[in-house]
Structure 1
């Protein structure tokens, strides 16, 4: 989902990159050299294409069927939009770089757009957190949630999340783009190199933008499971006590019961054939965190904090799992649909 920083893991780069890095310690490489049409590059391309198609399709469904849009779906729409933005601004250039080494001819502005994924990649992660926190609010304070949570509030929360991401991550990116990246690009004509003077704080980024959101999502899911279990247990106890204390009665017309007029039919507004089940969304989000996020974050934690170099094949595997998240997100919405009642 985000650009994996290879600077901390020199064993994941090519031999050419390793020998070059040894010759010039002022700069380090972020990418492999062009490899052409390998099975790995083909798989990355297919994942990117399916990600774009699925996220765009779900957004179009909401556009043509506005009844699907409610206070909860706002977070999902923000997630799909951020997925599309990230894929379209970073994946094409990354794949072209691996295929043909296109950056020397692309120009520095293209390099800056590609490196912006250091900022844009955080937004999908944060929207997963907002989905989990939204469910925590709904389960913990249901009355407050029903009365105060509206589509407008959800939009404001999503916009606030975007502002938060840029306040936290955009200044270092901007400084690097103005001070360090131009000199490196002018020297090597390659977007795959950055200065060691860069403000790209790998450890802070890993903790604040990757590990902490993952922990929040998982803890929120466990918390909601416990709350739901307690609520069901309490409801079951109340039902049992009512059944024991209330005698069964069978009123009949002979007992003086008055005849009730049939209820007046109420015209209901148009609703979609299917509706989204928020708890299913939350469950699938938590599963995707374990399957797609956790391996990648474990890999980077080991490299950044324990300084243990893992084989390049491990990096390739976890990066592919992470990229599958953007396919899983729209599928998560599709699988959560049920017949509207």
Structure 2
């Protein structure tokens, strides 16, 4: 049975219903916020862990945190009440979160996937070009791309629409077209991430054969070091993106043409946000140095 609480905004009393879906959304957001914050804190404290590649991971964690604080948490609030009651300033922050900051994790995952392709298929060029400055440039590009893609929607809604957070607010044809563009770009990015998986697997298989050769004693060690630290991690990360992100992005794209059940969208949104706490958990499970640093942090506390 749903619990109900009342919140009064001006002269209107709004009733919030806390059901299973809202509680699941809250749990996912809170766990994601804590897990991403802890791992990012470890990266910042232990400077030796913040390598040129791990800077990509830290950028992803930062994107997850900001999206949860702006989009995911306020999306829960938006779904609890029949009307927006937090005022226009928070509404603009929420709009910025669901359209701009939501793109940071997607573009960050794409940058990680392309980085792996580069490292495996052109290792000499990768070692020569990869540096903290290069990683910082890529991370900055991720943020610039997300803002360039979505700011037209955020600015238009903030300037021309006074009731943009009302679920029943009417939008112009321009906004519908631009929203469709964002959904399509996000779907293309996710598809590119998924398509890199077989390329990485094929290349790793080739490297295993080359490195192991015909030495039966070296082959198990080679397979263990490469498969466990790279193949399994990348495959799980890619499959989790396919499972958690693709359904919502596909449904939102289709919703621009036909009506899609709102309950279905809400459920898929929860699934989408699960990826936010899967990222730090996968990093912890696969990076020994990160696990040791995290345990040291807890021991200090």
Normalising by structure 1, we get a TM-score of 0.70
Alignment: residue pair count = 263
Quick check: 2:197–2:235 contact (8 Å CA) kept in 1? yes
- C-alpha offsets along residues 283-338 of structure 1, whole Å, 9 cap, x if unaligned? 23202112101222333344445x3x454443333222111010111111111124
Q: What CA deviation, in whole Å up to 9, does each residue of 1:17-67 have, x standing for no partner?
A: xxxxxxxxxxxxxxxx96411111111111111011000010111122222
Q: Is the 8 A contact 1:83 1:124 kept in 2?
A: yes
| Match in the other structure for 1:113 | 93
For residue 178 of structure 1, report the CA deviation from its aligned partner.
1.1
Does structure 2 conserve the Cα–Cα contact (< 8 Å) formed by 1:34 and 1:98? no
Equivalent positions of 1:99-178 (< 5 A) are 99-101=80-82, 103-104=84-85, 106-117=86-97, 118-178=99-159
Q: SS in structure 2 opposite 1:199?
A: helix
1:78–1:158: 8 Å Cα contact kept in structure 2? yes
Match of 1:282 among 214, 227, 234: 234
SS in 2 for 1:195: coil
Secondary structure at the aligned position of 2:150 is classed as helix
2:31 equivalent to 1:50:
yes
SS in 2 for 1:36: strand
Are residues 300 and 97 of structure 1, via their aligned partners in 2, closer, same or farther at CA, if it must alter by over 3 Å? closer
Aligned-residue CA RMSD in angstroms?
2.6
Quick one: distance in 2 between partners of 1:326 and 1:168? Answer: 21
Post-superposition shift, 1:149?
A: 0.1
State the SS of the aligned residue for 2:175: coil
Map of 1:230-245 to 2, 5 A cutoff?
230-235=206-211, 239=214
**Bigger mean CA offset, 35-44 vs 169-178:** 169-178
User: 1:228: which partner in 2?
Assistant: 204
Residues 108 and 191 of structure 1 are in contact (CA less than 8 Å); yes or no, is this contact kept in structure 2?
A: no
**For 2:246 and 2:229, how far apart are their aligned partners in 1?**
25
Cα-to-partner distance string for 1:89-116 (whole Å, 9 max, x where unaligned)? 2233332333345623x22122111111
Tell me how far apart the structure 2 counterparts of residues 339 and 159 of structure 1 sit (CA, whole Å).
Answer: 26
Cα displacement (A) at 1:281: 3.9
Cα pair distance change 1:293/1:97, threshold 3 Å? closer
User: Structure 2: how far apart are the matches of 1:37 and 1:58?
Assistant: 30
Q: Which has the higher contact order (CA 8 A, sep 6+)?
A: 1
For the pair shown, the structure with the greater C-alpha radius of gyration is 1
Instruction: Give me the whole-angstrom Cα distance separating, in 2, the residues matched to 1:296 and 1:157.
Output: 27
Q: SS at the partner of 1:71?
A: coil
Bigger proportion of residues as helix? 2
- Give TM-score scaled by structure 2 length: 0.78
Pair 1:321-2:271 in alignment: yes
Residue 206 (structure 1) aligns with: 183
2:249 to 297, 307, 310: 297
